[in-house]
Amino acid sequence: MTAPLTLSAKEAAAELGVSLATLYAYVSRGLIRSEAPAGGRTRLYRAEDVRALVTRRDRPVEAASDRALDWGAPVLESAITLITGDGLYYRGRDAGDLAASATLEAVASLLWDSTEDAFAEEPPVLPAFANLPPGLDPLDRLLSLLPLAAAGDLRSVNRTPAGLARTGARILRLIAGILTGTNPSALPLHQQLCGAWGVAGPGAELIRAALVLCADHELNASAFTVRCVASTGASPYAALSAGIGALRGPRHGGMTARVAAILPGLLDAPDPAQALAAHLARGDELPGFGHPLYARGDVRAAWMLKRMAAIWGADTRMRRAMALARTATEMAGTPPTIDFALVLLADRLGLPPHAPITIFTLGRSAGWVAHLLEQVRSGVLIRPRARYTGVRPA
């Protein structure tokens, strides 16, 4: 009997031994092709792709590395965030729909699967800044002050889901205060940023939306780091500090600084499209464009740019930015990412240089707490095995 060329979702998941959510994650990462038959509503999945993935996953440890952590196969299951080729969903809710009106606190409660308002407590007290070197990088300031806050937060020993969520809420408010140099307050987190930066009106709404769109992005480097640390039983402060350390790298949250280093020059050039072409012709990297998880472009950036164009569409610099985004898409096949959108937002609102990474960090902290909670609930210690490629003993 000839083996079928396609499988239903249940059949494919059964062959892989995974949940349907994990199957869809494989599809979103291009590991399994799916197709919609003519006149049918349910999608079918390529059997050859399913069986190739089973073979690759189950082959002996002695085989060559398949770079499973480098945009490859998922390494653990999660019910928090789904990324498809053209969508981002927080516990089944479209992130763009949430960005239209939700606060970061509301999205945090959704991500944390919280049954109570973790932000109902009085805001925490900000540790003293006095002994920190002047001009310290914002993320280094966080890494310096969060341990001090942890030492004074006796309630952080509460390891129940509700207790961890309340600790997470205190940490988010501390992060907002530390990054802006202001005292944490009971105001919505986006208003704390806007108050520190003097932003009101449509700009404040865009900052709120940006925080929501940055809230989580599945199992990225910082979220995985948070989960690893959380799985050891370390405190939420330690786990989130580890996430901040991972975030600051230039291939992760530090990407915003790389975008900020080139975007003004491209926008100020007599012909931005020509400047971009020359940049690419030299073989220079183009940070802020192209994301491996989105075949048709980063949906977070598309959402932000559409709203920004609606507000500042008549502005010459905004028109140049949109033309630059179109040129990069057409010329190099690399649509803009959320990093580009955050840097452009800061440019149009006249925000301080650290604003893009501040928005990214504060928003992403909500997702880190969600991953921490999910990992603690699992009770599993994350301890991957290495595929050894060195010299074998005689």
Q: Catalytic positions, please?
A: 291, 339
CB 31 within 8 A of CB 53: yes
CB 170 within 8 A of CB 137: no
- CA pair distance 266, 305, nearest whole angstrom: 17
How far CA 36 is from CA of 33, 39, 41, 52, 358, in Å, comes to: 11, 8, 7, 21, 42
- CA pair distance 200, 180, nearest whole angstrom: 16
CB 373 within 8 A of CB 160: no
- CA 308 to chain CA mean position, Å: 20
93 sits in which H/E element: strand 93-94
- CA 108 to chain CA mean position, Å: 13
CB 260 within 8 A of CB 356: yes
- CA pair distance 216, 367, nearest whole angstrom: 4
Task: Pick the closest to residue 103 from 227, 198, 162, 186 (CA basis).
Answer: 186
- CA pair distance 205, 211, nearest whole angstrom: 10
CB 289 within 8 A of CB 332: yes
- CA pair distance 300, 360, nearest whole angstrom: 12
Amino acid at 144: S
150 sits in which H/E element: helix 138-152
